[in-house]
Amino acid sequence: MNVLVIGSGGREHSIVKKLTKSSQVTTIFAAPGNGGIELDATCVPIEDTEVDQLVTFAKQNRIDWTIVGPEVPLLAGVVNAFKSEGLNVFGPTKQAALIEGSKDFAKAIMKKYRIPTADYQTFTDVDEARKYIEQQGVPIVVKADGLAAGKGVVVATSLNEAIEAVESMLVDNQFGEAGNRVVIEEFLAGKEFSLMAFVEGEDVYPLMPARDHKRAFDGDLGPNTGGMGAFSPVPDLQQKDIDFAVEKILKPTAKGMIAEGRPFSGILYAGLIETEQGPKVIEFNARLGDPETQVVLPLLKNDLIQVIIDVTSGKDPELVWEDAYCIGTVVASKGYPAEYSKEIALPELPKSKDCFIIHAGTGRDQFGNFHSVGGRVLLVGSMDKKREVAQKNIYDYLKAFDRDDSFFYRTDIGLNKKK
């Protein structure tokens, strides 16, 4: 089979790497891909939102399956366009992807179908939002309604911080159209985890749970990022909580989307938090998480393309998992998630039998040398039956970056502290 992966980040590189292990896949294309993906696939210079060009490429190159990585092309209707041409594509339609594209829509679905989540209100008026915050008190969570690359969330611990967050979104337009509405939520205390699932209509097949680290610095301090690392499975997570999440969150959401006339096909991602009442939803995404994908897919024993074929044809893929831990630590450009420099040469990346490298924001020059093109540059991962061994492998490898202050990484990924 010829397979096209749409996207250019770490999630897409992880998908590509998984596809290289399939005996059914002969050729892999990535659009547009990145410097590291070039080592494993043929990159084509088509942006992930250039829907018409992607459809044309798939038809001309006899692509058997297209896998959509990021959320932006999903909400641009890339799946709708492929399906209208009779092309096999894995991902939700534009209508179903709204569960990620609008937090207000997602909260309304949860309220209607009694899916456990935080209490909330949605606002477009600053004064009304301010009054609500003053009534509710802090801590409180302020979210941009639309897509904000994982950065449109403020957990405010003071009234001033909460009001400033609202004003930055509604008045200062910090996130553009994404912040034209804000969702203000009750703060939920507890440990977070991510649970992704292959979904086809009412059929739900959960993946291994993971926990990511959103804050920029050690000890879960600093600003929210797109994710500074992750690990899977989650040792302190009980099976009863996973079962609850599948039966009371994922399955009712899948049924609710059908009832709304927006049947979901693809990966449904639930960002969850363990509370005294059981897991509750923090957010839904309409695709594989990043960086969770980078630590979950290596644990999956199944052939990914066969899983996709099975799920989309109504067959149980019978997922099988490695009995091991997988941890991944992100190397980011100094300054991320705020302003950062690009085109910084990466140190030489030594080959390792104990670690794997997933590229996110990298490019290559004419000599094959890597440089940075994004905030999150790459992820160093390791898999081992012992979590401590996987951690040591990663941090031994990351010493290659210690001599260059153009990059930074957290030193506590997978240690399970303060999360």
pLDDT band at residue 417 under the 50/70/90 scheme:
very low
Amino acid identity at 163: I
- pLDDT greater than 90 at residue 404: no
* Residue-level pLDDT at 238: 94
Tokens (6 digits) for 276? 């005294």
First to last CA, the chain: 42
pLDDT band at residue 164 under the 50/70/90 scheme:
very high
* Residue-level pLDDT at 419: 35
pTM: 0.95
Mean pLDDT of all residues in 180-206: 96
Nearest-CA neighbor of 182 among 194, 167, 193, 195? 167
pLDDT band at residue 416 under the 50/70/90 scheme:
low
* Residue-level pLDDT at 228: 97
- pLDDT greater than 90 at residue 98: yes
Q: Kindly report, residue by residue over 332-383, the tens digit of the pLDDT.
A: 999 999 999 999 999 989 899 999 999 999 999 989 999 999 999 999 999 9
Domains detected in the chain: 2-93 (3.40.50.20), 119-186 (3.30.1490.20), 192-312 (3.30.470.20), 325-408 (3.90.600.10)
Q: Kindly report, residue by residue over 207-263, the tens digit of the pLDDT.
A: 999 999 989 999 999 988 889 999 999 999 999 999 999 999 999 999 999 999 999
pLDDT, averaged across the chain:
95
Q: Kindly report, residue by residue over 72-92, the tens digit of the pLDDT.
A: 999 999 999 999 999 999 999
Q: Kindly report, residue by residue over 36-66, the tens digit of the pLDDT.
A: 999 999 999 999 999 999 999 999 999 999 9
Using a pLDDT cut of 90, give the percent of the chain over it: 89
Q: Are 27 and 20 in contact (CB under 8 A)?
A: no
Q: Are 114 and 286 in contact (CB under 8 A)?
A: no
CB atoms within 10 A of CB 348: 8
Q: Are 2 and 61 in contact (CB under 8 A)?
A: yes
Q: Kindly report, residue by residue over 253-290, the tens digit of the pLDDT.
A: 999 999 999 999 999 999 999 998 899 999 999 999 99
Return d(Cα 134, Cα 71) in angstroms, integer.
34
- Least confident range from 145-149, 309-313, 373-377: namely 145-149
Return d(Cα 115, Cα 111) in angstroms, integer.
6
pLDDT band at residue 150 under the 50/70/90 scheme:
low
Any bridge partners for residue 189, and if so which?
Answer: none
Return d(Cα 395, Cα 382) in angstroms, integer.
10
* Backbone phi and psi for residue 148, each to the nearest 5 degrees, phi listed first: -140, 30
Mean pLDDT of all residues in 139-146: 93
Amino acid identity at 75: L
Mean pLDDT of all residues in 381-397: 96
Show the 3-state SS of the chain: CEEEEEECCHHHHHHHHHHHCCCCCCEEEEEECCCCHHHCCEECCCCCCCHHHHHHHHHHCCCCEEEECCHHHHHCCHHHHHHHCCCCEECCCCCCCHHHHCHHHHHHHHHHCCCCECCEEEECCHHHHHHHHHHHCCCEEEEECCCCCCCCEEEECCHHHHHHHHHHHHCCCCCHHHHCCEEEEECCCCCEEEEEEEEECCEEEECCCEEECCEEECCCEEEECCCCEEEECCCCCCHHHHHHHHHHHHHHHHHHHHHCCCCCEEEEEEEEEEECCEEEEEEEECCCCCCHHHHHHHHECCCHHHHHHHHHCCCCCCCCECCCEEEEEEEEECCCCCCCCCCCECCCCCCCCCCEEEECCEEECCCCCEEECCCEEEEEEEEECCHHHHHHHHHHHHHHHCCCCCEECCCCCCCCCCC
* Residue-level pLDDT at 418: 38
